[in-house]
Chain A
Amino acid sequence: ILNVEQSPQSLHVQEGDSTNFTCSFPSSNFYALHWYRWETAKSPEALFVMTLNGDEKKKGRISATLNTKEGYSYLYIKGSQPEDSATYLCAFGGLKAAGNKLTFGGGTRVLVKP
């Protein structure tokens, strides 16, 4: 059974502060790591697809890094805004033969306080 863990489960951030959180995944059979943002009553929104060890991706104030050798990825939010409040999910894709099958972590729920 694949174990994809995200920590912390939730965090409160003051508006303007920066924050980061972790996704841990199996380091063997790694193929891709996906990050999603899921706001209440909306569809999960794709943020990044990461494949290479050392990868860094950026989208606006959100960025992510990837370490496939030790099996973790960090997501960073710089200068948090209330609209960043959402659940952030990572999803592990192992082996190309598995196609688009993703194993999701439990998510990190971020609440940005004005």
Chain B
Amino acid sequence: KAGVTQTPRYLIKTRGQQVTLSCSPISGHRSVSWYQQTPGQGLQFLFEYFSETQRNKGNFPGRFSGRQFSNSRSEMNVSTLELGDSALYLCASSFGTGGTDTQYFGPGTRLTVL
């Protein structure tokens, strides 16, 4: 079974630009969660999508948004990039959304904002 894939793996953008990251979950998984990892803050929850609906949202500004398609693939978008958005963005997929399902992480997208 193929694992969670994320594209691109690396991105360099400049302040003010916008960026879209993609996550393809494990086949059959309907939940995709996104996390941001920075050295100072550790792993922080951004949002979760389940069956094309946003299930939960973390404490991030509205510049961070996401969506999920009918095939469960998910994208997250960051508009008006700031230097502080430089981070590793991880997505995780699971079969259900009950909180007790194992979440499987992708390799992440490393975003650098200059």
B56 located at the interface, meaning its Cβ lies under 8 Å from any Cβ of chain A in the complex = yes
Shortest distance from the beta carbon of B58 to any chain A beta carbon, whole Å: 7
B residues less than 8 Å from A100 (CB atoms):
31, 33, 48, 50, 55-56, 92, 94, 97-99, 101, 103
| In contact, B107 and A43 (Cβ under 8 angstroms) | yes
B43 located at the interface, meaning its Cβ lies under 8 Å from any Cβ of chain A in the complex = yes
| In contact, B42 and A99 (Cβ under 8 angstroms) | no
**Roughly how many angstroms separate A102 CA and B42 CA in the complex, as a whole number?**
12
How many pairs of A and B residues are in contact by the CB < 8 Å rule?
Answer: 74
A residues less than 8 Å from B42 (CB atoms):
104-107
B residues less than 8 Å from A89 (CB atoms):
43
| In contact, A32 and B3 (Cβ under 8 angstroms) | no
B residues less than 8 Å from A104 (CB atoms):
35, 42-44
B66 located at the interface, meaning its Cβ lies under 8 Å from any Cβ of chain A in the complex = no
A99 CB contact (under 8 Å) in B43, B44, B98, B105: B98
**Roughly how many angstroms separate A74 CA and B45 CA in the complex, as a whole number?**
23
A residues less than 8 Å from B31 (CB atoms):
99-100
B4 located at the interface, meaning its Cβ lies under 8 Å from any Cβ of chain A in the complex = yes
Q: Which residue of B lies closest to A34 (CB)?
A: B103
Classify the secondary structure of B's interface with A: strand
A7 located at the interface, meaning its Cβ lies under 8 Å from any Cβ of chain B in the complex = no
B45 CB contact (under 8 Å) in A46, A101, A107: A101
Q: How many residues of A contact B (CB 8 A)?
A: 26
A103 located at the interface, meaning its Cβ lies under 8 Å from any Cβ of chain B in the complex = yes
**Roughly how many angstroms separate A100 CA and B100 CA in the complex, as a whole number?**
8
B102 CB contact (under 8 Å) in A43, A49, A103, A105: A49
A96 located at the interface, meaning its Cβ lies under 8 Å from any Cβ of chain B in the complex = yes
Q: Which residue of B lies closest to A41 (CB)?
A: B107
| In contact, A43 and B4 (Cβ under 8 angstroms) | yes
- A and B contact pairs by CB, cutoff 8 A, 22 listed: A31-B100, A32-B100, A34-B103, A44-B90, A46-B102, A49-B101, A89-B43, A93-B100, A98-B56, A99-B48, A99-B50, A100-B50, A100-B92, A100-B94, A100-B101, A101-B48, A101-B58, A104-B35, A104-B42, A104-B43, A104-B44, A105-B42
